Chain A
Amino acid sequence: MSEDMAIPPEKVDALYERLDREAEASGYHLNPDREFTRELAEGLLINEGRYGYWACPCRLATGDKQRDLDIICPCDYRDADLLDWESCYCALYVSEGLLRGEREVQPIPEQRPPEGQRAQDLPARAPDRPGREHALPVWRCRVCGYLCARERPPAVCPICKARRERFEHFW
C-alpha cells in the first residue's frame, strides 16, 4: 500500500469546498480549523485511492467495502457523536458550539462496536407491519435517520449524502 498517490492540493481544496457546501446545506458543520479539515479531506482522498471509498481516515479499514460500510464518511456514528461529544470521531464534523469556537475540538472515544456487532454484521431487521402488502416499504438512512416510503431507497440520501447501500429496510 506504499503506492498511495500524492493528492494535488487543488483536489483537496475542491473536496473541502464540496463537503462544506453540502454540510451547511443540510444543517451540519465542518470543523472551522481549515488546515485540520483539509488534512482530513486529503485522508478521504487517499482512502478513495486505496479502497475505492471514503473510509474514515482515523479508523483502520479492511478494504472490504461490506465490512467497512459503517465507517464510510459520513459514518454511522457521526450524528450520535455530534450530540454526545460535539464532534464526530475524526472531528471533520462539529457541533454549532464548536463551530462558534466556544470550545476546542478534543479527541473523543470510539463508539464503533467490535466486529460482529456492527449494523452490517447483523441480520437485516424483519419489517413487521400489519397490512404492509398495501404499503410502500419505508427505507431509513443509517447515517442521519432520514425516512422515505418508496419502492427502493434513493441513490444518495438527500439529507446527508450517504449512498444507497447505507439505507436499511425500516418498515
Chain B
Amino acid sequence: MPTATGSVPGPHSEHHTVLYALSTCIWCRRTRQFLERQGVAFDYIYVDLLQGKEREDALAQVRRWNPSISFPTLVADDSRCVVGAKLEEIKEVLEL
C-alpha cells in the first residue's frame, strides 16, 4: 500500500505540483507514473487513505479547484489545475 501523503523528488521542480489522488484509481496511478517518468518533483495526497480532519482539509483544497471532487486533480503553483488523467494538458501546464 502507498503512504497517504508524500513527496517525489525530480529534476523538474520549477512548478509546485500537488497531485490529489485515490490509491485504488488506475487513472491516478497513470498520472503519477507519467509525472515520475517525466522527472517532475511533486507532492501527492491519497485522499481515500486520509481520515477525519486531514481528509476534510484535503477535500476542501480539491473542491476549490474542482467542485465535482473527482480524481486525479493536479494543482500547479496554487494557480492552475488539471482534472483527470489528461497527460497532454499536464505537460502544457508544467511546461514539460
Contacts and interface: CB of A to CB of B under 8 A. Distances in A.
Given A107-B84, A114-B68, A39 B48 contact: no
A81 to B, nearest CB: 13
A112 B69 CA distance: 10
A95 interface: no
Interface residues of A, number: 24
Interface stretch (A57-65, A123-131, A139-147): A57-65
Interface stretch (A15-23, A40-48, A148-156): A40-48
A45 to B, nearest CB: 10
A2 B4 contact: yes
A109 B84 contact: yes
A21 B26 CA distance: 22
Which of A1, A40, A42, A90 has most B Cβ within 10 Å? A1
A58 B84 contact: no
Nearest to A111: B68
A51 B48 CA distance: 12
A58 B48 contact: no
Interface string B57-70: 00100000001111
Nearest to B1: A4
Contacts of B67: 114
Contact of B25 (A2, A4, A90, A109): A90
A110 B26 contact: no
B70 A39 contact: no
A2 B27 contact: no
Contact of A90 (B4, B27, B59): B27
B48 A1 contact: yes
B47 interface: yes
Interface of A: 1-2, 4, 6, 36, 39-40, 42-43, 46-47, 57-61, 90-91, 107-110, 112, 114
20 contacts: A1-B49, A2-B1, A2-B3, A4-B23, A6-B1, A39-B26, A40-B26, A43-B25, A57-B22, A57-B26, A58-B26, A58-B27, A59-B22, A59-B25, A59-B71, A60-B47, A60-B59, A60-B71, A108-B84, A110-B70
Please provide the 5 A-B residue pairs with the shortest distance between their CB atoms, ordered closest to farther: A43-B24, A57-B24, A110-B70, A58-B25, A107-B85
Given A6-B1, A60-B59, 11 more contacts: A1-B48, A36-B26, A47-B24, A58-B71, A59-B25, A60-B47, A91-B26, A107-B27, A110-B70, A112-B68, A114-B68
